[in-house]
Amino acid sequence: QVIKCKAAVLWEANKPFSIEEVEVAPPKEHEVRIKIMATGICRSDDHVITGALVMPFPIILGHEAAGVVESVGQGVTSVKPGDKVIPLFVPQCGECKTCLNTKGNLCIKTDLGTSAGLMPDGTTRFTYKGKAIYHFLGTSTFTEYTVVHESAVAKIDSAAPLEKVCLIGCGFSTGYGAALQTAKVEPGSTCAVFGLGGVGLSAVMGCKAAGASRIIAVDINKDKFAKAKELGATDCINPKDFNKPIHEVLTEMTGGGVDYSFEVIGRTDTMTAALACCQYNYGVSVIVGVPPAAQKITFDPMLLFTGRNWKGSVFGGWKSKDAVPKLVADYMKKKFVLDPLITHTLPWTKINEGFDLLRTGK
């Protein structure tokens, strides 16, 4: 059956969302229809609004959520109606070259990089008065019901609080995994985290969980420092307080640079600064923030020639379908906290207010 429900539709760039009644088609073969119970808002959604991440319009954004399976298409075996689930913006098909490689997690079925805005079969499940509406990253969670491919959904503990574990769908896992999975931070090491939003704070938590002895948090908004310290940062610095480039400040503070640095903003200038602040021979710098479209980086290759490692990380390097249920289980065992990452809880019809709070750093 087609479900009619409310969704936050973005008709064009740089405009607010409008709450519309849309039609959500039933799941096709190997697809799952989910009732969304809670969704987080992420800077990557805002990047589509501003045009920094190019996607087709009209579109239903949102990719960090938790919900309950409403119905399944033919051939679906991993979930059934009534299961609590988290949609996965990085799917795990289990068959492609990346899924079969122990080092990789960016499944070939992902829409990141192709920006098609369609289901794997090249069609959409959302319509408004007969007009097709595009999907976002195969998830589209700013709606009461969504349809995802079976490779893009993970069944989780039925006791998990959906309004908290929705963060495991993107922000928390992305930052925490960048430290634990991608960088493989070692006990006693020194780390720098650029950007203290939800993902940056999760990277701080990952560095702490890995046993880093010094975690330097960097942000131009000093209001973020108290929470960073609560979650494990040992030092907090504001680049605006110095007359010299921030990478020089960090290099001096640490006697030659940090072991690991993380850029969790999505700006090319901070990506280069994060690279330059890590130790010249064995430092590792990880790009976590989504790079802006149509921007290039120019840097001195000597930065890499001396031995530094520059890496990228999508969804914290986790193989999504395998890792998400385990991360939820770890949360239930109190191995990490999520409450400090939740600043506001709004009814979803106030989604535009939520984005205002994101943009003002609140």
Q: Per the structure block, which two tokens stand in for 110?
A: 């992902």
Residue 63 annotated to the active site = yes
- Name the maximum alpha-carbon separation found in the chain: 64
Residue 42 annotated to the active site = yes
105-108 long-range Cβ contacts below 8 angstroms, 24+ apart: 105/314, 105/315, 105/317, 105/318, 105/319, 105/320, 106/314, 107/151, 107/320
- How confident is the model at residue 45, as a pLDDT? 95
Residues in the chain, how many?
Answer: 362
CA atoms within 13 Å, Cβ hemisphere of 359: 13
- How confident is the model at residue 112, as a pLDDT? 78
Condensed to tens digits (0 to 9), the pLDDT of residues 75-125 reads 999 999 999 999 999 999 999 999 999 999 999 988 777 778 999 889 999
- How confident is the model at residue 327, as a pLDDT? 98
Task: Report which secondary-structure segment, H or E, holds 201.
Answer: helix 198-209
- How confident is the model at residue 290, as a pLDDT? 86
- How confident is the model at residue 114, as a pLDDT? 75
How many helices and strands (H and E) does the chain possess? 11, 15
Task: State the catalytic residue, choosing from 107, 166, 170, 191.
Answer: 170
Residues of the chain with pLDDT under 70: none
Q: Which residue segments constitute the domains of the chain, with CATH numbers given?
A: 3-171+317-360 (3.90.180.10), 183-312 (3.40.50.720)
- How confident is the model at residue 38, as a pLDDT? 98
- How confident is the model at residue 26, as a pLDDT? 98
Residue 247 annotated to the active site = no
Task: State the catalytic residue, choosing from 47, 135, 149, 247.
Answer: 47
- How confident is the model at residue 15, as a pLDDT? 96
Task: State the catalytic residue, choosing from 5, 18, 30, 42.
Answer: 42
Task: State the catalytic residue, choosing from 63, 135, 149, 247.
Answer: 63
Task: State the catalytic residue, choosing from 44, 202, 313, 320.
Answer: 44
Residue 26: which residues within 8 A CB-CB, separation 6 or more?
A: 1, 2, 3, 33, 71, 73, 147
188: left (phi over 0), alpha (psi -120 to 50) or beta: left
- How confident is the model at residue 96, as a pLDDT? 95
Spell out the SS3 assignment of 69-106: EEEECCCCCCCCCCCEEEECCCCCCCCCHHHHCCCCCC
- How confident is the model at residue 52, as a pLDDT? 86
**What is d(CA 190, CA 187) in angstroms, rounded to the nearest whole number?**
9
